[in-house]
Amino acid sequence: MLKADTQQHLTLRLRRIGGQVRGLERMVTEPRLCVELLTQIAAVQSALKGVGDEILHYHVQRCVPESFSRRLRTNERERLAEMEKIFAQYCKEPTHSESVSQASSVPEVARKTRGRKGSPT
């Protein structure tokens, strides 16, 4: 279970995310470009992923060790620390260079569809 200070911190983050979602809902009813909507959706998804990552780290650092009925041996603590490190690496957002390489095909797709009948641009 989350401690009170962690609950408060995560509740504040979730309220901010809720505000983002309400803003997105308003945007949908306005004349907005699809790319603007998709940008806001990506921001909300990223924010939610961050909350999930934080809960996962909390679980590995606090809940798992507390679930043992005995004191952990050194090698067991080391394995948990290793697992936390792996989770931290897995949960990290892509670096700038990875984001750029993944996004490099987007302009090409946009160029190919620009001017076509029924295209979004």
Domain locations in the chain?
Answer: 4-94
Q: Region of 92 please: left (phi>0), alpha (psi -120 to 50) or beta.
A: beta
Look at residues 20, 93, 88, 19 and name the one whose alpha carbon lies nearest to residue 54: 88
Neighbours of 46 (CB within 10 A): 11
CATH fold label, 4-94 = Methane Monooxygenase Hydroxylase; Chain G, domain 1 (1.20.58)
Place of tokens 């009813």: 29
* 47 within 8 A of 16, measured Cβ to Cβ: yes
Read off the pLDDT of residues 78-116 as tens digits, 9 standing for 90 and up.
888 888 888 777 776 444 444 334 444 333 333 343 444
As a whole number of angstroms, the distance between CA 55 and CA 62 comes to: 10
Query: Mind listing the pLDDT tens digit for each residue in 29-44?
Result: 999 999 999 999 999 9
From its phi and psi, is residue 115 left (phi > 0), alpha (psi between -120 and 50) or beta?
Answer: left
Q: Quick one: pLDDT at residue 92?
A: 64
Q: Whole-model pTM?
A: 0.65
pLDDT over 60 at 23, yes or no:
yes
Query: CB of 37 within 8 A of CB of 28?
Result: yes
Among 18, 8, 90, 7, smallest CA distance to 53 is for 90
If you average pLDDT over every residue of the chain, what do you get? 78
pLDDT higher for 102 or 11? Answer: 11
